Chains A and B, each alone.
Chain A
Amino acid sequence: MNLRTFLSVAGFAALAVLGLGSATAQTAPAGKSAATAKTPWGDPDLQGTWTSDDTWGVPFERPKNFGTRATLTEDELQQREKNISRNEEFVETGGPNAHSPAVAALEAKEKGEKPPEAQGRYGRGVDAAPVPGHWGEFARRASHQASQVVDPPDGRIPPLTPEAQAKLDAKMKLRREPIPASWMNWSDYDRCITRGVAGSILPVIYGNGLEIVQSPGYVAIRYEMVHDVRIIPTDGRPHINSNIRSYMGDAVGHWEGNTLVVETTNLKGDTLAIGVNGDGGAPYSDDMKITEKFTRVSPNTINYQMTVNDPKTYTAPWTVAFPITQEPGYKLFEYACHEGNMAMHNMLSAARREDAKAAKGAGK
């Protein structure tokens, strides 16, 4: 519907037939409730293409004024729903930014006026901040959650250890250098290396898709942005030798009733964090253990939960939870991230330009 309206507004209805693959709605197996559907070999069926888009805009940590209240009031929920409908409208019509801020800036210049403040996304903080723009995804269903962190009960990440705080400070110093010296100033995500286990599923501006495929004794998860894949054995094998370390770690799964439980250890420490794109927050240590739970509760919903335990980084374990859902037609598109990473080229060339300007200034 959004698409159709968008196209009619754009006056370009011929585009209605999408050229990059047909929409294939995910549906439950016939005759069964998908929530309890089993694979032919008897495991709960989690297969399909999912996204964490519906949690876009839900704050990672709970605003302090909520205290231990984990869900929105009816009024707050209505506000979030309103933001979603405004964002849908934005996608359909272009919203206030249908008039480009670049054009507005140029016109204001001609008149000698200050450029108008352009309208952007709707809703900040707990009132949801889905991106209404053309690049960004946004929630389609309003979440009742006041935060993605659900434990401790105040929805706040437990205090960092002094060592972890020092690592975070050093990282932020690097990130905030006014003129970045090299590619080392940027994260593993920026450099198209990986987003890690947490960063690959926490909702961000776009690319929140993941595909789950199962076979007897294995669950495979392919993540859209930066294209990591995890192949998770569920046959009861132990973790590999602790000397072996990797960005995505060693994942071992088992079934508890209808729930897939995945424990990941052997992670490479001092690089990735538990936060957006694997970069938000303090780098975790080699001791990090991530325990995830996937429970299909309806045809188009899996309840996802992730508990992180790393005493070298956090003074207590903590848990994030949100649903991952299906959107008709959503497909993963190959993420040839490095080849397409023009951003790194542009940022480094911009920085070197700044260096050259500064050198010229100093030489005067």
Chain B
Amino acid sequence: MKKQVLIGAAGLGLMLAAAPAWAHHAFAAEFDVNKPLVLKGTVTKMEWINPHAWIHLAVKNADGTTTEWMVEAGAPNGLLRRGFNKNSLPPGTAIVVEGWQAKDESTRMNGSNITYPDGRKLFIGSQGTGAPGDKGGDEKGDK
């Protein structure tokens, strides 16, 4: 894996507050709490699909090759209601995405924040998923 582009990764002893629920969007069942990532890349496509939108990101590696990552965002309706729309991330947009890598070590990640090159931020997810920073969501069925 070519991860030179990553600002950092792996090995953090973050603990989840609650036992993971095996469910629809149980963070711990899908994503690795020990693999926080910050990726810098260019949007190639945004899929406005339920249950969750996915941002496709071309990330240039140090050796000049490119890896395509898929970044999970919130539900389309939720994103829209937070101010996100089809013009937010047109193909070609350079962004920095923060989140956690998939447990199967594929190039998929659960996204939390997006930062544009000039520092402006958009928020895309990672709440109510059991991800670090989420104060639990199991009991309300956010699966």
Contacts and interface: CB of A to CB of B under 8 A. Distances in A.
B107 interface: no
A62 to B, nearest CB: 14
B43 to A, nearest CB: 15
A258 to B, nearest CB: 30
A72 interface: no
Contacts of A133: 123, 125-128, 134
Contacts of B70: 342
A340 B22 contact: no
A74 interface: no
Chain B contact residues (Cβ within 8 angstroms of A): what range? 35 or more
A129 B108 CA distance: 29
Chain A contact residues (Cβ within 8 angstroms of B): what range? 35 or more
Contacts of B54: 342
A167 interface: no
A106 B7 contact: yes
Interface stretch (A12-20, A236-244, A259-267): A12-20
Given A275-B141, A347-B30, A353-B104, A342 B72 contact: yes
B52 A340 contact: yes
B133 A135 contact: no
Interface in A169-202: 175-177, 180, 185-187, 189-190, 192, 202
Contact of B26 (A57, A110, A347): A347
Interface in A1-35: 3, 6-7, 10-12, 14-20
A98 B140 contact: no
Contacts of A20: 48, 76, 80, 85-86
Which of B31, B36, B98, B125: most chain A Cβ within 10 A?
A: B36
Given A100-B113, A121-B127, A333 B50 contact: yes
Which of A97, A180, A202: most chain B Cβ within 10 A?
A: A97
B79 interface: yes
Contacts of A56: 140
Interface in A211-237: 224-225
B103 A120 contact: no
A342 B108 contact: yes
B62 interface: no
A206 B141 contact: no
16 contacts: A12-B120, A15-B88, A19-B86, A100-B126, A105-B14, A108-B12, A120-B133, A120-B135, A133-B128, A134-B74, A135-B128, A187-B24, A192-B51, A277-B141, A336-B49, A340-B51
